[in-house]
Amino acid sequence: MGHVIATANMKGGVGKTTLSVNLATCLAKNHGQRVLVLDLDTQISATLSLMSPVDFASRRKKRKTFRHLIDQIITPGDAADFTIQDIIQREVCKLPGLNLLPGDIDLYDEFVVSELLHQQALNVGEKDFETIWNRFERILLGKILEPIRNDYDFIILDCAPGYNLLTRSALATSDYYILPAKPEPLSVVGIQLLERRIAQLKDSHEHEQKIETKMLGIVFTMLSNNLLNGRYYKQVIHRVDQDYGKEKVCQNQIPIDVNVAKAVDSFMPAVLNSPNSAGSRAFVALTQELLQKL
């Protein structure tokens, strides 16, 4: 069975999506792995990093996005009758092995979810609403991915910033999570907050099926070459080494590189668009390091 890996940090804009799509691409391109990227963020950055806005708009018109898989669970009967296999876009960026489950700018309505779960609680006579809610979170993504879980060596879940229902479900169904962070205090606070939330999540599910996800590594991203910054970065990274253990902090860091940011313009990750750039080389090395950790 393959690995399910979530990319998460409470803090926004720390490079989660850029890491997800470049890691997925390296795994397919350099290691011959079968990889699926699932975009769990309504900003659809992962989707638009691997597919043009025109292609996305045409898929959305046909209702072939992740939204309809959630709909099938939340509002069965109303939802379009597509399977997950119909929705997955194969060989994105013309790269064999690289597949995308496109996200959507509109994924689910919290009110509808609450109503559904409230009804379920009444039906089964469960007085503790939290138990029903926790069970729903734990199985939501696992249930959606079940039919294709064995078709892939890696499923990468690109989480939104913060800690919403889909992030909790991604953590609950994943084998590992990766924490990208900028070497800045607020981004590091994002790591601490997420770690605390994951501990709470594991606690709250302890009596039912246990949540087993493990931290694969903290990846420092967007480091500038400025020497003055360099000294400051080292201090922040040293603090994180001490807090989480050196073995949890990836040795390969991702530099700031304009080629990484502008790759989105060509609807493909930097490791395909500008493979010789410093950013791309760092993603290639990081992928090897993460594979070794696994």
Ligand X SMILES: Nc1ncnc2c1ncn2[C@@H]1O[C@H](COP(=O)(O)OP(=O)(O)OP(=O)(O)O)[C@@H](O)[C@H]1O
Residues that bind Mg ion in the complex, under the rule CB under 5 A = 16-17, 45
- Closest distance of CB 233 from ligand X, Å: 14
- Closest distance of CB 158 from Mg ion, Å: 6
Torsion of CA 172, 37, 158, 62, to 10 degrees: -100
Tell which residue, 108, 128, 294, 286, has the closest CA to residue 215: 294
Q: Which is nearer to ligand X, 35 or 48 (CB)?
A: 48
DSSP 8-state class, residue 267? T
Between CA 9 and CA 26 the distance in angstroms is 22
Q: Which is nearer to Mg ion, 162 or 275 (CB)?
A: 162
**Cβ–Cβ under 8 Å, residues 179 and 217:** yes
- Closest distance of CB 206 from ligand X, Å: 29
Q: Which is nearer to ligand X, 97 or 190 (CB)?
A: 190
Q: Which does 217 bind (CB under 5 to 8 A by kind): Mg ion, ligand X, none?
A: none
- Closest distance of CB 13 from ligand X, Å: 4
Burial class (CB in 10 A: 0-12, 13-18, 19+), 179: buried
Tell which residue, 33, 147, 155, 163, has the closest CA to residue 83: 147
Report the interface residues with ligand X, using CB under 6 A.
12-18, 41, 43, 45, 161, 221-222, 254, 256-257, 260-261, 279
Q: Which does 279 bind (CB under 5 to 8 A by kind): ligand X, Mg ion, none?
A: ligand X
User: Which residue, judged by CB position, is nearest to Mg ion in the bound state?
Assistant: 17
- Closest distance of CB 45 from Mg ion, Å: 5
- Closest distance of CB 215 from Mg ion, Å: 19
Number of other residues whose CB lies within 10 A of the CB of residue 33: 19
Backbone dihedral angles phi then psi of residue 134, each to the nearest 5 degrees = -60, -40
Q: Which is nearer to ligand X, 84 or 98 (CB)?
A: 98
Q: Which is nearer to ligand X, 20 or 72 (CB)?
A: 20
Structure tokens belonging to residue 110: 């919290």
Tell which residue, 51, 28, 202, 215, has the closest CA to residue 66: 51
Q: Which is nearer to ligand X, 16 or 168 (CB)?
A: 16
Backbone dihedral angles phi then psi of residue 157, each to the nearest 5 degrees = -105, 110
- Closest distance of CB 282 from Mg ion, Å: 18
**Cβ–Cβ under 8 Å, residues 161 and 10:** yes
Q: Which is nearer to ligand X, 193 or 256 (CB)?
A: 256
Burial class (CB in 10 A: 0-12, 13-18, 19+), 39: buried
Q: Which does 257 bind (CB under 5 to 8 A by kind): ligand X, Mg ion, none?
A: ligand X
Q: Which does 18 bind (CB under 5 to 8 A by kind): Mg ion, ligand X, none?
A: ligand X
